[in-house]
Structures are given as C-alpha cells and as structure tokens.
Amino acid sequence: MISSPPHTPVQNILLLSCMDLRLLDETVAFMDRIGMTNRYDHVILAGASLGASYDGLPHWGQTFWDHVDIARELHDIREIYILEHSQCGAYRKLLGLVFGEHDETEALAHAEVASRLKSQIRDRHPDLGVRAFLMDLSGGVTELAI
C-alpha cells in the first residue's frame, strides 16, 4: 500500500479516475496523502483507463484527449496518473468481466488496459510521464506495473 509516494512530482499532473461514488473521498484523500493537494486536474470516466480507451465509446476517448490538451496548455501538466479501482462496474458492463473480492486476475486486467492507454498517451505526448494505481474498496492503493 502507498502511504507516501516514491517521488512527488515537481510539476502538476492530470488524474484520470473512475466515477464510482464509493471512492470519491478516498481518491481525494490519496492525492492529498501523496502531496498533490491542489496540484492536479481531474478527469473522471467510468472505468478510468477503460473509459478513455474503449473503442465502443470513442467520444469518451476524445473527451479525455481534449482534457489532456487543455491541462497541458493551462496548467503545464507533466504526468498523467491513472487511478483504477477494484470491482469496477465498467469492466463488468463494457467487457463482461466480473472479479471476486480478492481476485488476482483483476490487477492484471487493470494493468493491461492502463498499459494500453499509456502507449496511446506516449504516442501523442511522448514527453508526459504515466503512472497507474489500483485502489481497493477501502481506499488502499498499490502502484500497477505498466
């Protein structure tokens, strides 16, 4: 679990997270805990990286890219943080994936989708760093290897 970041970004970042109402307060608490209070733009899409990269909802992806562009222009973001979460309803609805409470394949699925989005980000903005995290339903966070 992450209690403090391995490194706190020097610059502002963009956070992409899921819309799940169970974790809104926990998301803000995580960002505060890692030293990012008032230093991030926040984009919320169902499924986080899935919502931004899912071929079946291209308008969601365009919304994400528009936010990245304006965040770069207005706030000089240098990194994008992707915050996934366990038992995500968007993964069930869009991909038909259902995970148990401590399902080890869940982190792999989230890492795979986040990695795909990271590649897309690097193609469009090679100067932006990308990190991904997985939050459990109690607000605990681990970093995903992408």
What is the torsion angle, in degrees rounded to the nearest 10, for the CA atoms of residue 85, residue 122, residue 43 and residue 73?
A: 160
Return the bridge partners of 76, or none: none
Do the beta carbons of residue 16 and residue 80 sit within 8 Å? Answer: yes
Return the bridge partners of 29, or none: none
List the domain boundaries for the chain.
1-6+17-80+120-146
pLDDT digits (tens, 9 = 90+) for 67-98: 999 999 999 999 999 999 988 888 888 877 67
Q: Is the pLDDT of residue 105 over 90?
A: no
pLDDT digits (tens, 9 = 90+) for 8-31: 666 899 999 999 999 999 999 999
Confidence of residue 58 (pLDDT cuts 50, 70, 90): very high
CB proximity list for 76: less than 8 A, separation 6 or greater: 11, 12
Query: Which pair of structure tokens corresponds to residue 114?
Result: 């986040």
Query: Which pair of structure tokens corresponds to residue 63?
Result: 């919304």
Single pTM value for the model: 0.89
